[in-house]
Structure 1
Amino acid sequence: MRQLALFLLACCLALPTLGAEAARQNRQEQFGELTVHYNAITSSILQPGIAKAAGLMRSKNLGVLNVAVEKAGKSYAAAISGTVSGPDGKKERLTFTQVTEQGAVSYVTQFQIPQDATYTFDLSIKAAGDTNRLSFDQELFPGDS
Structure 2
Amino acid sequence: MKILTNMLLFSLAFLAVTASAEIQKFGDLDVNYNVITTDTLAPEIAKAYGIKRSKNRLLLTVAVSRPDERGVPRAVTADVMAYTINMIELHRKIKMRRISEGEAIYYMGDFGFAAPDFLRFTINVTESGSGKPHKIEFQRNFEKF
Q: Could you say which TM-score interval applies, normalised by the shorter chain? A: 0.7 to 0.9
Tell me the amino acid that sits aligned with residue 118 of structure 1.
F
Percent of residue pairs identical: 26
2:31 & 2:144 partners in 1: Cα distance? 25
The answer to whether structure 1 residue 49 and structure 2 residue 44 are counterparts is yes
1:29 is paired with a residue of what secondary structure? strand
> 1:101: Cα distance to partner?
1.7
1:62-81 mapped onto 2 (5 Å cutoff):
62-72=57-67, 73-81=73-81
1:21-100 mapped onto 2 (5 Å cutoff):
27-72=22-67, 73-100=73-100
Give the structure 2 partner of residue 111 of structure 1: 111
* Structure 2: gaps spanning 5 or more residues: 1-6, 68-72
* Structure 1: gaps spanning 5 or more residues: 15-25
| Structure showing greater Rg | 2
CA RMSD of aligned residues (A): 1.6
Q: Which structure is higher in RCO with an 8 Å CA cutoff and minimum separation 6?
A: 1
TM-score, normalization: structure 1? 0.83
1:64 & 1:141 partners in 2: Cα distance? 16
2:60 & 2:28 partners in 1: Cα distance? 23
Q: Which ranges of 4 or more aligned residues in structure 1 deviate by more than 3 Å?
A: none
